[in-house]
Amino acid sequence: DAGVIQSPRHEVTEMGQEVTLRCKPISGHDYLFWYRQTMMRGLELLIYFNNNVPIDDSGMPEDRFSAKMPNASFSTLKIQPSEPRDSAVYFCASSLGGATNEKLFFGSGTQLSVL
Amino acid sequence: GESVGLHLPTLSVQEGDNSIINCAYSNSASDYFIWYKQESGKGPQFIIDIRSNMDKRQGQRVTVLLNKTVKHLSLQIAATQPGDSAVYFCAETYSGNTPLVFGKGTRLSVIA
């Protein structure tokens, strides 16, 4: 398996623009997580899905952030409109359910810079 | 390139020496703990885990120790190699179905 695949690897955009980050989880994994990583706050959980259904989105910072998982092999994280303080590395991770759902497999991340 | 971790605690170790990375966790109800390694430009990678019914668990060159009394977790790396240079995160959870909570991380720098 190729692992968790994220795109793009780097995104540079201007304030006010819409940004869409994409993720393909590992086949067969039924949990998908979106994390944000910054110097100040470390790794923060934004939202996670189980079987394509959002379970907890309490980490989503504002209404400008939204996430979808239309099927088991694809998820998006959208920021609209983007702001400079959204600049961070965004990671997608997936895991199996049950007793092993703690072992997250992370993608390589998307480095977002909002100018 | 990496844009995180510039203000992390840093541990510098001579190649071949043993490394000990420490982590204090906050939730006394946590019953599952994981160590992750993050290399520059990559996502965190699973190293080793331990459940609260254990005090020690060994892997290949790595050992995790858990002290529930003082809520302390440590990762020991034997014969540290340059490839071990990375940021190391501990993470905790409880009940098995709640998401992991990650610590701030420690940067390990191996001196050749």
Mutate to test the interface with B, among A26, A30, A34, A37 (most CBs of B within 10 A): A37
Sole residue written with tokens 């990762």: B75
Interface check for A7 against chain B (CB to CB < 8 A): the answer is no
**Residue B24 reports pLDDT greater than 60:** yes
Selected residue with higher pLDDT from A101 and A76: A76
- The answer to whether the beta carbons of residues A12 and B51 sit under 8 Å apart is no
Q: What is the tally of helices (H) and strands (E) in chain A?
A: 0, 11
Mean pLDDT of B46-54: 94
Rounded distance, CA B93 to CA B76, Å?
21
Distance from CA of A80 to the nearest CA of B (A): 22
Confidence of residue B1 (pLDDT cuts 50, 70, 90): very low
Look at A4 and B104 and tell me if their CB atoms are within 8 Å. Answer: no
All residues at 6 or more sequence positions from B84 whose CB lies less than 8 Å from its CB, including other chains: B19, B37, B77, B108, B110
Mean pLDDT of B66-73: 95
Residue A111 near residue A89, CB atoms below 8 Å:
yes
Edge-to-edge strand order for the sheet containing A74-79?
A5-7, A19-24, A74-79, A65-71
Q: Which amino acid is at B70?
A: V
pLDDT tens profile A34-81: 999 998 888 999 999 999 999 999 999 889 999 999 999 999 999 999
Q: Is B76 exposed, middle or buried (0-12, 13-18, 19+ CB in 10 A)?
A: middle
Which residues does chain B have within 8 Å of residue A108's beta carbon, measured at their own beta carbons? 41-43
Whether residue B83 lies within 8 A of chain A, CB to CB, comes out as no
Cα angle A64-B5-A32, degrees, rounded to a multiple of 5: 45
3-state DSSP percent of chain B in helix, strand and coil, to 5: 5, 50, 45
pLDDT, mean of residues B23-27: 90
| Omega before A8 within 30 of 0, i.e. cis | yes
Say if residues A91 and A41 touch (Cβ distance below 8 Å). Answer: no
Instruction: Output the pLDDT for position A103.
Output: 82
Q: How many contacts does A have with B, using Cβ atoms within 8 A?
A: 56
Within 13 Å, how many C-alpha atoms sit on residue B40's CB side? Answer: 9
**pLDDT tens digits along B95-104:** 766 788 888 8
